[in-house]
Amino acid sequence: MSFNTFGHMFRFTSFGESHGAAIGCVVDGCPPRIALTEADIQSHLDKRRPGQSRFTTQRQEPDTVKIMSGVFTGDDGIQVTTGTPIMLMIENVDQRSKDYSEIKDKYRPGHAGYTYDAKYGVHDYRGGGRASARETAARVAAGAVARKIVPGLIVRAALIQMGPHKIDRTRWDWNEVDKNPFFCPDAKQAKFFEEYLDGVRKSGSSVGAVIEVVAEGVPAGLGAPVYAKLDGDLAGALMGINAVKGVEIGDGFATAAMSGEENADEMRKDSKLGNAGKPVFLSNHAGGILGGISSGQPVVARFAVKPTSSILNPRKTVDRYGNDTEVSTKGRHDPCVGIRAVPIGEAMVACVLADHYLMHRGQMGEGTAWPFKPRA
């Protein structure tokens, strides 16, 4: 089994590798009659695209998406999904395989070359082959479709730590995220990151990051006990992104140091017009999920991205023939892969939520919401 497919009811299968002809995915399970254009997808791909600032790889990929199937434009002129497989294709145009010829037979420490070779006996050294984060463009494209499935869903993410340097959460401003090259919600810290990351890059090294994803408009009830918990699926989807080494939901690891009073999100009845009888939570330490099921609060997830393994500074390694050697990576690499992981994290959260939304609808039917009336 090769496991290139995500999801249950909202599914996508990604294909392609870093220096192949194209990458992309086939989305299956998208409901019909959802308005969908290439522009809806392109805007998200443009956020992940390489070569947009000196802080990301200089590989120049336009990442132009083509919808190859699964849509139809009716007499009203609106292009909609048909309910059949949607194939999304992105051509690779700026491969430079010769950049990798020097390290052709060497494993890059921290990269997946050795484990892929140990498993498959094939070493696609050209840009990391299938282990390259080029694959994540397919996830972002699928995520753009997923976002359209859950009504009112807003999924946003931001970089909240680079190396040991955290943002000041009191300065959090979502409007800042698209104004700096780091997707950072703290304008002051973003300025500092410029100088900091320049230093890291010039010294031939790399650095890690932490990204926070917040999903608003998630209805209560998504997720299923016991083997399809929403938090479990989110953790799996985020951990499945290249270079991600840790995931937490809500207050995550910090909850271990909290008391029961501090951690439990207290509840009160909502007095807002139209919401009478529904609960409101006075805090959100749980990150919007209780018992594996969404509570109606924003879903909050955080993930840690390791420093880029391809660095200029030489590291000890072995070659394919079992000899000790050294490797230094001179090609085009991100000094902090966490930056471009921001739109990828958003996409994976959107895919998980769309999948659970469709599964919930499948089990419970349309228009069901707490509090239920007793059946007649």
Ligand X SMILES: Cc1cc2nc3c(=O)[nH]c(=O)nc-3n(C[C@H](O)[C@H](O)[C@H](O)COP(=O)(O)O)c2cc1C
Number of residues that bind ligand X (CB under 6 A): 21
Q: How far apart are CA 123 and CA 107, in angstroms?
A: 9
Q: 86: which strand partners?
A: 27
Q: What SS3 class is residue 154?
A: strand
Taking CB under 6 A as the binding criterion, the range among 152-160, 229-237, 267-275, 307-315 that sits at the site for ligand X is 307-315
| Residues facing 89 on adjacent strands | 24, 66
- Judged by CB under 6 A, the stretch of 35-43, 130-138, 169-177, 316-324 that binds ligand X is 130-138
133 binding ligand X? (CB under 6 A):
yes
Phi, psi of 80 (to 5 degrees): -130, 160
Instruction: Please report, as residue ranges, which positions from 311 to 350 form the binding site for ligand X (by CB under 6 A).
Output: 333-334, 337, 340-341, 344
- Going by their DSSP bridges, the two strands 315-318 and 324-327 should be labelled as antiparallel
23 touches ligand X (CB under 6 A)? no
Strand, coil or helix: what is 370?
A: coil
Taking the complex as a whole, the smallest distance from the CB of residue 251 to ligand X amounts, in Å, to 25
Q: Does 57 contact ligand X by CB under 6 A?
A: yes
Considering only 81, 92, 136, 294, the residue that binds ligand X (CB under 6 A) is 136
CB of 367 to ligand X, least distance (A): 38
Q: Which neighbouring-strand residues pair with 106?
A: 319
Q: Which stretch binds ligand X (CB under 6 A): 33-41, 127-135, 221-229, 257-265?
A: 127-135
Buried b (16+ CB within 10 A) or exposed e, 181-190: ebbbbbeebb
Backbone torsion region of residue 268, taken as left when φ is above 0, otherwise alpha when ψ lies between -120 and 50, otherwise beta:
beta
CA 287 to chain centre: 17
User: x/- site string to ligand X, residues 201 to 240, per CB under 6 A?
Assistant: ----------------------------------------
Q: Residue written as tokens 């609808």?
A: 361
- DSSP-based three-state secondary structure for 315: strand
**Residue 85 Cβ vs ligand X, minimum distance, rounded to whole Å:** 26
Q: Which is nearer to ligand X, 186 or 334 (CB)?
A: 334
Q: How far is the CB of 238 from ligand X (least distance, A)?
A: 11
- What count of residues does the chain have? 376
For ligand X, the closer of residues 333 and 361 by Cβ is 333
Considering beta carbons, is residue 148 or 201 the nearer one to ligand X?
201
Q: Which position among 81, 161, 242, 295 is part of the footprint of ligand X (CB under 6 A)?
A: 242
Q: Are strands 11-15 and 22-28 parallel, antiparallel or unpaired?
A: antiparallel
Q: What is the CA radius of gyration of the chain?
A: 22
For ligand X, which is the closer residue by CB, 10 or 125? 125
Q: Which of 161, 309, 349, 358 binds ligand X (CB under 6 A)?
A: 309
First-residue to last-residue Cα distance in the chain: 48
- Contact letters for ligand X, residues 70-109 (x by CB under 6 A): ----------------------------------------
Work out how close the CB of 166 gets to ligand X at its nearest, in angstroms, rounded to a whole number: 20
Please spell the DSSP secondary structure of 55-103, one letter per residue.
TS--------EEE-SSEEE-TT--EEE-SS-EEEEEE-----GGGGGGG
Pick the closer one to ligand X by CB: 44 or 340: 340
Q: Shortest gap between Cβ of 131 and ligand X (angstroms)?
A: 4
Residue 104 and residue 107: Cα distance in Å, rounded? 8
Q: Which is nearer to ligand X, 67 or 103 (CB)?
A: 103
Residues that bind ligand X (CB under 6 A): 57, 111-112, 128, 131-133, 136, 241-243, 306, 308-310, 333-334, 337, 340-341, 344
